[in-house]
Structure 1
Amino acid sequence: MIWHCGDYRLNLDRGPLIMAILNLSPDSFSDGCAALDKAMDHAAQLVRDGAHIIDVGGESTRPGSEPVPADLEIERVVPVITRLVTEFDLPISVDTQKPEVAAAAVTAGASIVNHVSASLDFEKMVPVLASNRVGYVAMHMKARPKSMQREATYADAVDEVGTALVVVRDRLNEAGIEAERCLYDPGIGFGKKLDHNLELMRAADRLVARLGRPLLMGISRKSWMNHLLGADMSKDTQAVLVRDALTAVASTLMPYPAAAVHRVHHPALCRDAFVLRDRLLGQEWSGYASRS
């Protein structure tokens, strides 16, 4: 299966791909790289560590976070994306809720729009997608970050999240956005409690059966790990390494090819975990991205 992302055709049949997170928001939980040189140094390390895609975000969407004005978000992400596309031959993604930010990022060279609020406002993103050939990730978010955890109630989380994403899929189809350009993200941690997150992770195959396209899973450093295991969620180095290790373990337990792309903070750990898993299973992991 191929994911069409602008000038890139990402082969999803040779193993899960790694989308590495590059936070540019200074209030991000995972220490944003606000300075351009720092961001580029970190991006270079992400590539060395096995990233197939770099996902650039200029607004924190952690629970309780405040929204950022579009012009400030553009000011943060566009200079970095402009540099990234000239220095690295791999797809660059923009992580945003706002169509104006997505449009500016695509103009700067981004190949993927990672729309973290798609279940709330995907209609606003349709004109951006219709005027470009970029890839699209439609993520489920229960409510805006400021209040989403207070509204984390479901009669059946898997059915409700799946239904919401099917609505997005059908509208994209009506708008002429090719299915090959789209992946879907159940939004682990975004307006979900621990049990909801676990149910959605276990239901990856069922969600893909409904949607007809693979999933992008964003489970990295999420607070569900703390609730499940009592792990330290502080920002000190040891605590972060524990969360990254838990992320790698959880990612390898997700079914492939249903979970085709993993959005992570520490790509090297995730890559090595996939290699070990597949060698133990007598397989070879060799995901790659090629420019068409």
Structure 2
Amino acid sequence: MPRFPAHPDRRPVLIAGGSSGIGAATGVMLGAAGYPVALGARRVEKSQEFADQIVAAGGEAIAVPLDVTDVSSIDECVTRAEAELGPLEIVVSGAGDLWPGRTHEMSDEEFADQVAIHLLGAQRLYRRIVPEMIDRRRGDVVFISSDVADDPRPHMGAYAAAKAGVEALARVARQELEGTGVRASLVRPGQVMTGMGMNFEPEMAEAMLTDWVSFGFARHGFFLKPVHLATAITTIVRMPRGSHMRLVEVEAEAPIVDTPHRNPDQQGDNP
């Protein structure tokens, strides 16, 4: 007998932040792979567009209102998702938004808002869904972090602090879940071309990028696409039981240069 039973044939998924970007791309990819998907977001009309896309392609999906800063909204979202799709086997915690600014220039409310949505929202969602997973002795929780958690940069004080908190939460969760059959994983993206952070004022973006260059953070201008992160998340949750991808870092590949840096003595050519 195997040490771990296989994943069940039906594995319903809840994606927090399913109205755009990484969340929407993940929902579409998992839906195409046969997973029933609940797309949770404040912009439920946008989530519905992706749910319709999944259904039109032959999958199963619903759009559910979700505000991770509101405990009652989380409870209502999970309750509805499970009523329509079944007990949640996979939860992706990726809801959030980004407002840059120098830490000493941000208001207390602006700083607290980012901590509330990224860190406290992840904790509230985790607390709501994990006890039932523990009872079933299986489940996947995927936290979406950011490379700024590991490598903070100017104008990202609130966001970096919140994401660093998410990473600490995930690491503690792994320890506390050991032996339960529930897996907690982190995905740490680099810069991604999504709607989050794309509405900055030009002056704000210029100041941020200037400071990034000064500290060596902007080596190239290539961005990841949401599908790249969706691929990482899908890989994590499809790992056979008995294995655990705990941290996956995904960065944009640098552009290919015309003249690669090569050592002539290591080209393999005989004289």
Shorter-chain TM range is 0.3 to 0.5
TM (norm. structure 1) is 0.39
Higher relative contact order structure (alpha carbons within 8 Å, sequence separation ≥ 6):
1
Structure having the larger proportion of residues in strand: 1
